[in-house]
């Protein structure tokens, strides 16, 4: 095993990337009609939860997104195999 091997690592936890505040320009909205977990009525798929880089998605049917921490990066929307997550302009929710 190598020496002098301290690396930076952490356990994913909510707020890892800091509190979002009011600077998000768009937010993910899960369309329950399309969500595979909702369709199957159980904790299925959960791919958005796996990929969220800010760990602010909780498992569920549908999963829930903590908008206090969501940065609006859009990764969950991109990886959703059902295309059920829309990115909506933040202005629409003010």
Partner 1 sequence: MSSTVVITGNEAAATAAKLARVQVVAAYPITPQSSVVETLSRWVESGELAAEFVTVESEHSALTVCLAASTVGARTFTATSSNGLAYMTEQVWWTAGARLPVVMGCVNRSLAAPWNVLNDQQDSMSVRDSGWIQLYCRDNQEILDTFLQAFRIAEELSLPVMVCYDGFLLSHTVMPVHVPSAEEADAFLPPRPAGLQIVDLNDPRNIGPVTLADPRRDASGVLHGGYMEIRHAHQQALAEALDVIPAVDAEFADVFRRSWGGLTWEHRLEDAEVVLVAAGSLGMELTLAADELRGEGIRAGVLGIRAYRPFPVEHLCGKLVGRTLAIVFDKALSYGYGGPICTDLRAALSGREKMPTVFGTITGLGGRDVTAAQLAEEARAAISDAEAGMSQRRTVWVNLQDVAADGKTMCGVRE
CB of 46 or CB of 74, closer to partner 1: 46
Taking the complex as a whole, the smallest distance from the CB of residue 76 to partner 1 amounts, in Å, to 16
Q: Which of 24, 26, 28, 22 is nearest to 92 (CA)?
A: 26
Taking the complex as a whole, the smallest distance from the CB of residue 87 to partner 1 amounts, in Å, to 24
User: Residues interacting with partner 1, by CB under 8 A?
Assistant: 1-12, 16-18
Taking the complex as a whole, the smallest distance from the CB of residue 5 to partner 1 amounts, in Å, to 5
Token code pair at residue 73: 């990066």
Cα separations in angstroms, 50 against 17, 57, 78, 93: 16, 9, 13, 26
């Amino acid at each position: 095993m190598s020496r002098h091997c301290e690396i930076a690592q952490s356990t994913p936890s909510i707020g890892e990337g800091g509190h979002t505040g009011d600077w998000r320009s768009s937010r993910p909205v899960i369309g329950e009609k399309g969500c595979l977990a909702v369709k199957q009525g159980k904790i299925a798929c959960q791919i958005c939860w796996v990929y969220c880089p800010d760990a602010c998605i909780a498992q569920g049917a549908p999963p829930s997104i903590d908008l206090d921490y969501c940065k609006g990066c859009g990764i969950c929307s991109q990886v959703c195999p059902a295309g059920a997550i829309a990115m909506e302009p933040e202005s629409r929710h003010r």
